[in-house]
Amino acid sequence: MMVEAVSLAMMRSELTTPWPTAEGPVAVRESAYLLLHGGPIGGLQRPAAGESAPMPGFGLESFASSVAALRLSAKRLIGLTENDISGAIRDLRLLAPVAAAPAARHAIDLALHDFLGICWGVSIARLMGGSDALEQVPANATIPRVPAAEIGPLAAEYQAHGVTTVKLKVGGCPLAEDLDRIRALREAGGPGLRIRVDANQAWTEDEAVSSLRAMEPFRLEFAEQPVRAEDIAALGRVRASCGVTIAADEAVRDFATAQEIVEQNAADILIVKPMVLGGLLPARTVACFAREHGYDVVVTGFLDSVIGRHGAAHLAASLGPTPYAHGVGPIRDFAHELAMPSPEEIPGTVRLTREPGLGLNIEYGLARQGITITTIERIASE
């Protein structure tokens, strides 16, 4: 089977509650979808799909430059056969238009994995992880920086749907407010609820130490990225100065930074985001490296739509069992989302379909979504 055409589609969705980043709150998310068409594959009439959704705070390209990189790369994808795809995925960093565009590389990497899975009749999780791949992965819920009074009802709703792990956004406000919010979550969720916090680089080193020490009585599962991503040494000092498990998130930008974190023993857990790392293959490389050196790994989406999140879920499933829930569940704060008939995506668990590849029909989702698609470009093979 050959890639006969490439299409691009864009979607924009407002967030009902802005999400914090190191560069300020994000109120709108934009996604560019890359579609690879190859005609009927194994009886399926759907294209393979990938997503680019860059966001401030991680050193990624802008959305406009990501779309431009995908347009320039499209012609390079025409004519690829299933025998060429594995090599194309490995060599994506050498593809000039996307060399400096990790989110665009992610879209191509995910679409190529999807295409190959469809061709071979296996899911992406099994394509990467073999028979050890899981059919479902535990997923945490996330509560943004909302007032303490709103946290109890949210926690009750999540727990009613089987959620056992909740991530709470902290930082960017007086410590007393954060403590009130964590207290509200602990009281509503009870002793069995796993609570992790994410500061998104909001604290100085001293603030991180004092804040996390104050949070220790609430029995946190772990704390994500308390200090600036660039200061890996400070991250290690925070880890050594408090009794809270530390996860590196924004600091994990590529294999080199992951290696530096491990060498400096600066964290206990590595957060692996395929969108940031440039695709499923480089993300899995980082995850396997971390595990080989005794580190736990949590795979998360990037506030992306169901396409990107489900790709991350396949990566998580390919890694096998883990003591931690992954950040690949539904995002309740999207005003709009692609409507998909499957897979069943519920709080607490993401279940992968038995369909090959990604298991999602993006054309169905785009057709069902009642929003304007900014651009759809189709490049036919000659």
pLDDT score, position 23: 76
> Per-residue confidence at 18, pLDDT binned at 50, 70, 90?
confident
Within a domain: 200: yes
Residues 371, 227 share a domain: no
24 shares its domain with 173:
no
Q: Is the dihedral of CA 263, 264, 266, 272 positive or negative?
A: negative
Report if residue 263 sits inside a domain.
yes
* Same domain, residue pair 49 and 164: no
Q: What is the mean pLDDT of residues 71-96?
A: 91
Tell me the angle at which helices 175-189 and 148-160 cross, rounded to the nearest 10 degrees: 30
Does any domain span residue 229?
yes
Q: Where are the beta strands (DSSP E) in 20-94?
A: 26-37, 48-52
169 classed as catalytic = yes
Q: What is the pLDDT of residues 122-165, one digit of tens each?
A: 999 999 999 999 999 999 999 998 999 999 999 999 998 889 99
Given a cut of 80, whether residue 41 has pLDDT beyond it is no
Instruction: Answer for the pair 170, 202: CB distance below 8 angstroms, yes or no.
Output: yes
pLDDT digits (tens, 9 = 90+) for 179-225: 999 999 999 999 999 999 999 999 999 999 999 999 999 999 999 99
Are 231 and 137 within one domain?
A: yes
Structural domain count of the chain:
2
pLDDT band at 376, cuts 50/70/90?
very low
Report H helices in 204-329: 205-215, 232-241, 255-263, 274-277, 280-292, 306-318
pLDDT at position 22 over 70? yes
- Does one domain contain both 132 and 114? no
CA distance 160 to 233: 41
194/137 same-domain check: yes
Note if 75 is an active site residue: no
DSSP state for residue 98 in the 8-state scheme: G
User: Of these residues, 29, 105, 113, 273, which one is catalytic?
Assistant: 273
Q: What CATH number does the domain containing 316 carry?
A: 3.20.20.120
Going by pLDDT thresholds of 50, 70 and 90, the confidence category of residue 345 is low
Residues 219 and 171 in one domain: yes
Are 117 and 138 members of one domain?
Answer: no
Q: What is the pLDDT of residue 372?
A: 46
**Which domain CATH number covers 69?**
3.30.390.10
How much is the pTM? Answer: 0.93
Residue 92 shares a structural domain with residue 183: no
> Is residue 292 classed exposed, middle or buried when 0-12, 13-18 and 19+ CB atoms within 10 A define those classes?
exposed
How sure is the predictor about 379, in pLDDT bands with cuts at 50, 70 and 90? low
Based on the fold, state whether residues 336 and 221 are members of the same structural domain.
yes
Residue range 83-99: mean pLDDT, rounded: 92
Residues 106 and 132 in one domain: no
156 located within any domain: yes
Q: Which residue has the higher pLDDT, 186 or 368?
A: 186
Catalytically annotated residue among 29, 113, 169, 309? 169
Q: Report if residue 356 sits inside a domain.
A: no
* H/E stretch holding 120: helix 102-120
To the nearest whole number, what is the mean pLDDT of the chain?
90
From 37, 1, 134, select the one nearest 362 (Cα to Cα).
37
What CA–CA distance (Å, rounded) separates 269 from 252? 11
Q: Is the pLDDT of residue 43 over 60?
A: no
Task: Examine the pLDDT at 374 and tell me if it is beyond 80.
Answer: no
Instruction: Report residue 54's pLDDT band, with 50, 70 and 90 as the boundaries.
Output: very high
**Is there a domain that residue 357 lies in?**
no
pLDDT at 36 over 70: yes
Shared domain for 229 and 200, answered yes or no, is yes
- Boundaries of domain holding 76: 5-123+362-380
| Residue 221 located in a structural domain | yes
